[in-house]
Amino acid sequence: MAARIIRLGTLLSDADAIADLHTRSRQDAYRGLYGDHYLDHQLPAISRAVWRERFQDYAPGADLILAAMDDAEPVALAYASFRVNPAVGLLVDNLHVAPERKGQGLGSRLLTTVARWLRDEHAGAALHLEVYAPNAEALGFYARKGGVEVARYRETPPGGREVEVARFRWSRPKDLLA
């Protein structure tokens, strides 16, 4: 059975499950970018605190939290918000798929669901996201989905080395629905 995409809201038990998935995904994708000590010992608690705050401060018109669920377990997640910089559009701050579930179309389904919400609730708004440039898999995914790389800057992740970050933008997110 295919995973179901659902919209989450304010249940803290959901926040913890999403945080755990987010942690596993980041540990897999960001090994070598972030410090190992941070990934293995600090990130789990930080991630739970961040996700609990997101669920507690959830604003339905400004935030979107999605999960691909398989047997009541999240296997992919997306978090998008207008709160970071509403003038730029909706920021997809997180789009992660469990390492063992990559290549099954879950990231595409989540991105399409975000675009559909944007079309239905915020017509005309742009969509953007940022990704670490060394993550070639993600860069290729967003380019194939029609994202246009509009900027690059450098940052230093916790315990890691300086790395380039690429910003992608969809001026017409409804194109993701085609």
* pLDDT in the model for residue 8: 86
Average pLDDT value for the chain: 95
* pLDDT in the model for residue 98: 97
Task: Outline where the chain has alpha helix (H).
Answer: 12-29, 36-37, 43-56, 106-121, 136-144
Q: How far is CA 25 from its chain centroid?
A: 11
pLDDT digit string (tens) for 160-178? 999 999 999 999 999 999 8
* Residue 80 near residue 114, CB atoms below 8 Å: yes
The mean pLDDT of 4-8, rounded to a whole number, is 90
The mean pLDDT of 30-43, rounded to a whole number, is 96
pLDDT digit string (tens) for 7-19? 987 777 899 999 9
Domain boundaries, the chain: 4-177
The mean pLDDT of 123-144, rounded to a whole number, is 96
* pLDDT in the model for residue 1: 58
> Dihedral sign, CA of 70, 116, 125, 107?
positive
Beta bridge partners of 79: 65, 94
Instruction: Give the pairing type, strands 127-132 and 4-8.
Output: unpaired
**Contact residues for 151 (Cβ-Cβ < 8 A; gap 6+):** 166, 167
Q: Tokens for 43?
A: 């990130």
Cβ-based neighbour number of residue 150 at 10 Å: 12
Q: What is the DSSP string of 102-134?
A: TTSSHHHHHHHHHHHHHHHHSTT--EEEEEETT
Beta bridge partners of 170: 127
pTM for the predicted model, two decimal places: 0.94
Percent of the chain with pLDDT over 70: 99
Domain topology for 4-177: Aminopeptidase (3.40.630)
